[in-house]
A and B are shown apart, each in its own frame.
Chain A
Amino acid sequence: EAGVAQSPRYKIIEKRQSVAFWCNPISGHATLYWYQQILGQGPKLLIQFQNNGVVDDSQLPKDRFSAERLKGVDSTLKIQPAKLEDSAVYLCASSFLTGDYNEQFFGPGTRLTVL
């Protein structure tokens, strides 16, 4: 079974530039998550989708971050314009939507460096 795919794996940009990350979840997984992991910290949820609808985006900085999952499969996370403090690893995860608990499967992440 293929895992969660993310691209690119690494990205270096200058502040005020724009950047986009792509995620393809495990086939059949209805729920998709984007996390931000700053060096030395645990992952922090940015946004959660169920199919193509947003379930939770309470911690997404909406003035500069946006995300979409138009067809309920793959997803794109965008930052525009980037700030130095956005340097982090951006992790995508997916899960089935059954029962009280759904195990999240994580992709390898995209490491963003903002100069």
Chain B
Amino acid sequence: AQSVTQLDSQVPVFEEAPVELRCNYSSSVSVYLFWYVQYPNQGLQLLLKYLSGSTLVKGINGFEAEFNKSQTSFHLRKPSVHISDTAEYFCAVRDGSARQLTFGSGTQLTVLP
């Protein structure tokens, strides 16, 4: 079964600083990879996804992620964060043959003024 590890449960960062949220998954032949954001008292919103093609994926709100097959990683980055980016971020993986998404345990990003 697929598993997803988000190495940092909490990441505090100052406004306008860069940030990287780390995600590793267990190896598989082919995977689809996703990052979701969850604001307080709201559902999950898709930030970006990797299905195939270019390993650098750009998403909404200035976020991007890079798929690294050899390291089985899909780290999320943003060059300059805003207060409004404060939220919980979830990495998720779907095997090519599986029907369901497997989520990591989440990273709480807190942007400080």
Binding site for B on A (CB under 8 A): 4, 40-45, 48, 55-56, 91, 93, 100-101, 103-104, 106-109
Q: Which residue of A lies closest to B88 (CB)?
A: A42
Within 8 A of A (CB), among B62-113: 90, 92, 94, 96, 99-101, 103-106
9 cross-chain pairs, A with B, having the tightest CB-CB distances, nearest first: A42-B103, A106-B43, A106-B44, A45-B100, A108-B43, A107-B43, A43-B103, A42-B105, A42-B104
- Evaluate whether A42 and B90 lie within 8 angstroms (CB atoms) in the complex, with A56-B99, A107-B43, A108-B42 already known: yes
Task: Give A107 to B26 CA distance when docked, in angstroms.
Answer: 28
| B45 is an interface residue with CB less than 8 A from chain A | yes
Cross-interface CB contact of B32 among A55, A101, A107, cutoff 8 Å: A101
**In the complex, A106 Cα to B101 Cα: how many Å?**
13
> Cβ of B17 < 8 Å from any Cβ of A?
no
B94 / chain A contacts, CB cutoff of 8 Å: 101
Residues of A within 8 A of B9 (CB): 40
Residues of A contacting B42 in the complex (Cβ-Cβ under 8 angstroms): 108-109
The 10 sampled A-B contact pairs (Cβ below 8 Å) are A40-B9, A40-B106, A43-B101, A56-B99, A93-B44, A103-B46, A106-B36, A106-B45, A108-B41, A108-B43
- Taking a contact as CB atoms closer than 8 A, the residue among A4, A41, A55, A104 that contacts B101 in the complex is A104
In the complex the two chains form, is A101's CB within 8 Å of B41's CB? no
